């Protein structure tokens, strides 16, 4: 069966350092991979999307990589700040075509940036 | 102000009662979704709808029902048949734009059944 794992339930990083979160999957061939941020008691917010034929995507201090051979995505936050503290979810999208819009979400990694 | 609204934010019910959670969007999105979130289990898909008057079961549909009579509305009923209804419920919508889409989530409803 399809399985998605995010490397750890919780991660503590010193302010200013780079935070790296991992998303691994098995028995799955996603066309896209998405990353979301969720604050406590709130709904997730979309951050970045990367396609299967892209190796890397950047947005400001965020960087996502996608290795379909390793079946892994890495999510990096550089120059981390306390405001980056949140739970980060990865989501796999199996299809590039409209009509199959079911995402499969990982369990999330709770990131805490320590001042 | 475009977005997704869910009401109420907190809901309390007695065991054995059906309860309906509201979800409205003014983003003109075609697809809408209901997820359940429990600690340590991530988001699990309950039902989704890609078009008005049509919906499909997700991974954990048992004990839930939905309707999609209007594009902007996708209410979820938690029935008395749902064994563990206490959870955080999230509604989302999405649309196909330029070869990609992402899901927009509402603020969620925390349901407690005692």
Chain-centroid distance, C-alpha B48: 8
- Cβ atoms of A31 and A95 within 8 Å: the answer is yes
> How confident is the model over B9-46, as pLDDT tens digits?
999 999 999 999 999 999 999 899 999 999 878 899 99
- In A, which residues are within 8 Å of B98 by CB distance? none
Would the CB atoms of B103 and A46 count as touching at under 8 Å? yes
Q: How far is A114 from chain B (nearest CA, A)?
A: 23
DSSP at A61: T
> Would you call B40 helix, strand, or coil by DSSP?
coil
Residue A30, pLDDT score: 77
Element (H, E) at A34: strand A32-38
Would the CB atoms of B94 and A41 count as touching at under 8 Å? no
Would the CB atoms of B108 and A41 count as touching at under 8 Å? yes
Chain-centroid distance, C-alpha A94: 16
Residue A39, pLDDT score: 95
Share of chain B above pLDDT 70, in %: 94
**Exposed/middle/buried for residue B9 (C-beta within 10 Å: 0-12, 13-18, 19+):** exposed
> How confident is the model over A56-96, as pLDDT tens digits?
999 999 999 999 889 999 999 999 999 999 999 999 887 65
Share of chain A above pLDDT 70, in %: 92
Which segments of chain B are extended strands (E)?
Answer: 4-7, 10-13, 19-25, 31-38, 42-51, 54-57, 64-66, 76-78, 87-94, 104-105, 109-113
Question: In this structure, what are the phi and psi dihedrals at residue A83, rounded to the nearest 5 degrees?
Answer: -70, -10
């Amino acid at each position: 069966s399809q399985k998605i794992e995010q490397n750890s339930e919780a991660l503590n990083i010193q302010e200013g350092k780079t935070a790296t979160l991992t998303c691994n999957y098995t028995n799955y061939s996603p066309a896209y991979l998405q990353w979301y941020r969720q604050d406590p008691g709130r709904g997730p917010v979309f951050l970045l999307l990367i396609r299967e034929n892209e190796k890397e995507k950047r947005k400001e201090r965020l960087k996502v990589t996608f290795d379909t051979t390793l079946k892994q995505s890495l999510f990096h936050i550089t120059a981390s700040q306390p405001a980056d503290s949140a739970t980060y979810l990865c989501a796999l999208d199996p299809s590039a075509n409209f009509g199959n819009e079911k995402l499969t979400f990982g369990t999330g990694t709770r990131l805490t940036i320590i001042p | 102000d475009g977005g997704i609204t869910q009401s109420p934010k907190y809901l309390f019910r007695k065991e054995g009662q059906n309860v309906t959670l509201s979800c409205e969007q003014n983003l003109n999105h075609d697809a809408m979704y209901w997820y359940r979130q429990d600690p340590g289990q991530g988001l699990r898909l309950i039902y989704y709808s890609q078009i008005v008057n049509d919906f499909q079961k997700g991974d954990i549909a048992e004990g839930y029902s939905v309707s999609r009579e209007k594009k902007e509305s996708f209410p979820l009923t938690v029935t008395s048949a749902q064994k563990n209804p206490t959870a955080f419920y999230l509604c989302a919508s999405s649309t196909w734009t330029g070869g990609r889409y992402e899901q927009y989530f509402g603020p969620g409803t925390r349901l407690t059944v005692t």
